[in-house]
Amino acid sequence: MTKRPALLTLALWLIPLVFLAYFFYQPLIAIFRLVFSERFSQGWELFEWSQVSKPLTFTFLQAFLSTILTLVVGLPAAWLFAKFDFPGRKALRAISILPFILPTVVVAAAFNTLIGPQGWINQALMALFNLSTPPLKLLNSLPAILLAHVFYNTSIIIRIVSSSWSRLNPRLEHAARMLGASPWQAFTKVTLPLLLPSLLSASLLVFLFDFTSFGVVLMLGGPQFSTIEVEIYNQAMNRFNLPVAGLLSVIQLSITLLITLLQNRVNTPRYGKAALNPERSALSRPAKRWQKVFVIFMMITLILLFAVPVISLITRSFVTLEADRGQRGEVALGFTLRYYRELFQNRSGSIFYVPPIQAIRNSLLYSGVAILIAGALGTLTAYAMAQRARFNKFLEPLFMLPLGASAVTLGLGFLLIFNRPPWANSNFPLLIPIAHSLIALPFVVRTILPAIRGIPESLREASRSLGANPLQVLLKVDLPILLRSLLVSLVFVFTISLGEFGASSFLSNPHTPTIPVAIYRYISQPGALNYGQALAMSSLLLFVCGLGSLLIEKIRLPGEELF
Amino acid sequence: MLEVQNLTKDYENKPLLKGVSFEVAKGELVCLLGSSGSGKSTILRIIAGLEEPKSGAVLWQGRDLRDVPTHKRGFGLMFQDYALFPHKSVAQNIAFGLQMQGLNEEEISRRVKEALESIRMQSFAERPITELSGGEQQRVALARALAPSPRLLMLDEPLGALDHTLRTQLIQELRAILHQSQIPVIYVTHDREEAFGLADRLVILHDGVILQEGSPEELFEQPATAWVAEFLGLGNLVQSVVTQAEPLRIKTAFAELTLPNQSIQYSPGQECQLLLRPEDALINTQNSARENQFECIVRDSLFMGEYHQLELLCGETTLLARSQTPAEIGSKLTVSWPAEKIRVFPGS
């Protein structure tokens, strides 16, 4: 980029900065002020530390266990995809990385249909052994949380580690073998050290996601298991203890920031071309017996882990079970479209009852607004960052910070600062798409910025010399080149907004639920119809998000990664 | 010492090696010469145990290596892209093989020092690999392969990635180091200059089979097939047809030549190819066998230092010939090849 007046850069920064200051930093500061004023006025003596230490300990514990388990599944899977060619490889890889884009409520609902009291396993056992109550209490347990986290985050390990593994020059390992190293020595002394940066980076990212997990823990962990995120929600929404919620937010934010900083540090590629695979593909068919066994074993494992919960959710949303209607003992399967049809009807007369179709309308509306805000601000920010101005170094981190703040923290901050005019009452729901666009903003910038940086300045200069004015340059040169990345990021904003649960759970009032909030409400209410409707909505959401990720894969340029 | 027996191997369901056999004797430097894609590297990888042949065997001192894993064969391989460990320094790279042998620290550092001296890179010991130039990397890779004293050293196009000046310089260096080490060497290349400059014996691989093997002199004097002659760049190859068996008369596009005293019997109508070496051409001299003399037009005359290279247009065929004197472009001259210097290859 040629030198541009700093004034232009500042102008580009202006709107995003004002927006961020008002909607992100103001609420954040409000949380800090609340926490510290409370503690200064009341002191620490009366403070019950267990309110913080208990969820904090559990958060670390479950995040640690989840990360280890994710690595146990993810590393062999990464090796599988990096080294082997086998029938169904593409399809298996697609279903293995699908979970990453799934909304938390969908994942929670999917596992509910598998291991919950109304899920397949329990219903099958009840029918088989003539039981009157679900025999397996798998829901509301640590294993349920861990399972869902492994389901979620294995895709991260597969994406990051398998791509760097397949790019690793296989001759390095061969060279080690030629110098007398056994296969194991070649792995530990050559391959592993070279994979370490991406391995560490992926593990930290997985840990971060497990650490900040909200929807999964809330819906699968039950009342006795609460992470910091869930505890923030409980303290704020159920006990109205905002100071404790705020303190938890501050702790949460500092820890996630620390992990993010650490993750950025290990993420830098160190060896450049020296370790790169000179050939395009190093895939080989499993030739030896143990390789065939390994490939088949991994295929079964991955299908069980990734396809079964999704299939379970979809099938369960089309099925009535006789036991649901209270006629215990005689379970009869029946196909039904009732749950889907009921989405469009308003049955209950309750004033708090909102028909599901209303939630769908809300969600679509909010995501439309979020796309507009995040798209506009993201493009402005990316252009500002692409300029060579000295102050960019200081402004850039300000923009990436929302990535570190959790959605729940954001929700809490909004609750604190905007619960008064002009935002209270009727305007309040508008905060939902604003929160969504804040969450999606870093992704938009990360997708568009490389594309902007990739436009050679000579193209703009050439079009200017051919008589194009600045606006024409922008429309005729920049826009067509950026279109793909822009589309990718907008689809991404759409799926993020549709599935967002953390902030929405704070901000949606009883009359204005989003789809995830409605799913959460329905699934926790008794009755087969509520359950079925939650599943029907989850399946629809699953379908839309799957379509969105398919679209992203189709239009994104090869080599672009979303994180 | 090393015996390769009848190796076959498929690549993407097509036969790549169709039965390759050769031997390497003690202290011998064998050059495996072939165009790219001929399966040279695959032969090395099979000998190394990194790949398995479809059939055939690799024997070391009469013992079949089928069940011996790569790391227990005691062979060294220098990779085309060097495959130096990017997370290790120069000295750590060279030490790797010695550590795998379980040598003590003292012994290792002594041998690393020796190895660095042999490639004259003592001051580079602690440098990271990523800071080395191509030529430096090539030398470190050689030192790393030689340090554990392998029973056999294989080099896969070791000079392939380097520019021409560096190559000629490194061939000399390589020759000195390899001859000094007394280790049998298999050297794979597609470059005939490298092969002629280094090899005790050449093995020419084409289309999955060995076309010819022998000393560089033998191959130069007696190429077995037209392909070998062309691949080695020995001279003009001319398509022709036998018109008379005894004495042998052969018709080319531009002249009919008489070639008596051939070892093989030809029959009229048979297609064959002639090798006319530029250095054997006689320009504007009266040849005793007048039949083998023909007229042509000079299209180009290049001064090459010790001689002039003439590009001659004979009919529609272009031939290269060497001359002691320059020729005027566009002029006519007569050229002839002595019958005893022309080689005939049956087939087209």
Question: Cβ A179–B76 below 8 Å, yes or no?
Answer: yes
What HEC string does A270-335 produce? CCHHHHECCCCCCCECCCCHHHHHHHHHHHHHHHHHHHHHHHHHHHHCCEEEHHHHCCCCCCCEEE
Residues of B in contact with A270 (CB under 8 A): 86
Question: Cβ B83–A169 below 8 Å, yes or no?
Answer: yes
Lay out the sheet containing B2-11: strands in order across. B14-24, B2-11, B55-60, B63-64
Read off the pLDDT band of A421 (50, 70, 90): low
Q: Is B77 on the interface with A (CB under 8 A)?
A: yes
Q: Which amino acid is at A386?
A: A
Smallest CA–CA distance from B47 into chain A, residue: A178
Exposure string for A485-514, b = 16+ CB within 10 A, e = fewer = bbbbbbbbbbbbbbbbbbbbbbbbeeebbb
In this prediction, residues B53-76 reach a mean pLDDT of 93
% of chain B residues with pLDDT over 90? 49
Distances B331 to A438, A456, B254, B299, B305 between C-alpha atoms, Å: 83, 55, 17, 8, 22
3-state secondary structure of A228: helix
Q: Is B300 on the interface with A (CB under 8 A)?
A: no
Question: Cβ A178–B70 below 8 Å, yes or no?
Answer: yes
A183/chain B closest Cα distance in angstroms: 8
Interface mutation target, options B9, B36, B70, B157, chain A, most CBs of A under 10 Å: B70
Q: Is A284 on the interface with B (CB under 8 A)?
A: no
For residue A526, what pLDDT is reported? 75
Alpha carbon dihedral B190, B193, B195, B201, in 10-degree steps, equals 130
Compare B39 and A131 and report the one with higher pLDDT.
Answer: B39
For residue A348, what pLDDT is reported? 60
Smallest CA–CA distance from B144 into chain A, residue: A179
In whole numbers, what is the pLDDT of chain A averaged over residues? 84
For residue A563, what pLDDT is reported? 45
* Top-confidence range, A101-115, A350-364, A519-533: A101-115
% of chain B residues with pLDDT over 70? 98
Distance CA A407, CA A415 (A): 12
Smallest CA–CA distance from A287 into chain B, residue: B52
Distances A430 to A358, A421, A514 between C-alpha atoms, Å: 16, 13, 12
Compare B217 and A6 and report the one with higher pLDDT.
Answer: B217
In whole numbers, what is the pLDDT of chain B averaged over residues? 89
Predicted complex ipTM: 0.81
Return the CATH class of domain B236-346. mainly beta
Distance CA B256, CA B253 (A): 8
Answer whether residue A329 shows pLDDT above 70. Answer: no
Prediction pTM value: 0.81
Q: Is A282 on the interface with B (CB under 8 A)?
A: no
Could you tell me if A98 and A306 are in contact, meaning their C-beta atoms sit under 8 angstroms apart? yes
Answer whether residue B89 shows pLDDT above 80. Answer: yes
Q: What is the pLDDT of residues A437-484, one digit of tens each?
A: 999 998 899 889 888 888 888 888 888 888 888 888 888 888 888 888
Distance CA A228, CA A213 (A): 9
For residue A292, what pLDDT is reported? 93
For residue B8, what pLDDT is reported? 93
Smallest CA–CA distance from A180 into chain B, residue: B71
Q: Which amino acid is at B209?
A: V
Answer whether residue B276 shows pLDDT above 50. Answer: yes
Distance CA A71, CA A63 (A): 12
Of the candidates B150, B144, B148, the residue with the CA atom closest to the CA atom of residue B158: B144
Q: Is A189 on the interface with B (CB under 8 A)?
A: yes
Answer whether residue B58 shows pLDDT above 90. Answer: yes
Of the candidates A78, A92, A64, A282, the residue with the CA atom closest to the CA atom of residue A168: A282
In this prediction, residues A361-367 reach a mean pLDDT of 92
Question: Cβ B76–A178 below 8 Å, yes or no?
Answer: yes
Q: Is B69 on the interface with A (CB under 8 A)?
A: yes
For residue A1, what pLDDT is reported? 44
Q: What is the pLDDT of residues B159-210, one digit of tens each?
A: 876 777 777 777 887 788 787 878 899 999 988 888 888 899 999 999 889 9
Question: Cβ A179–B96 below 8 Å, yes or no?
Answer: yes
For residue A90, what pLDDT is reported? 86
Q: Which CATH superfamily is domain B2-229 in?
A: P-loop containing nucleotide triphosphate hydrolases (3.40.50.300)
Q: Is A137 on the interface with B (CB under 8 A)?
A: no
Domain locations in chain B as residue ranges: 2-229, 236-346
Smallest CA–CA distance from B76 into chain A, residue: A178
Strand partners, B137: none
Interface mutation target, options B96, B108, B157, chain A, most CBs of A under 10 Å: B96
Q: What does the DSSP 8-state code read for residue A474?
A: I
B73/chain A closest Cα distance in angstroms: 8
Q: Is A199 on the interface with B (CB under 8 A)?
A: no
Per mean pLDDT, which range of A157-161, B171-175, B244-248 is the poorest?
B171-175
Which domains are delineated in chain A? Answer: 1-20+355-506 (1.10.3720.10), 48-273+293-304 (1.10.3720.10)
Q: What is the pLDDT of residues A15-56, one digit of tens each?
A: 989 999 899 999 999 998 888 887 777 766 666 777 888 899
For residue A354, what pLDDT is reported? 72
Could you tell me if A23 and A438 are in contact, meaning their C-beta atoms sit under 8 angstroms apart? yes
B211/chain A closest Cα distance in angstroms: 29
Could you tell me if A281 and A172 are in contact, meaning their C-beta atoms sit under 8 angstroms apart? no
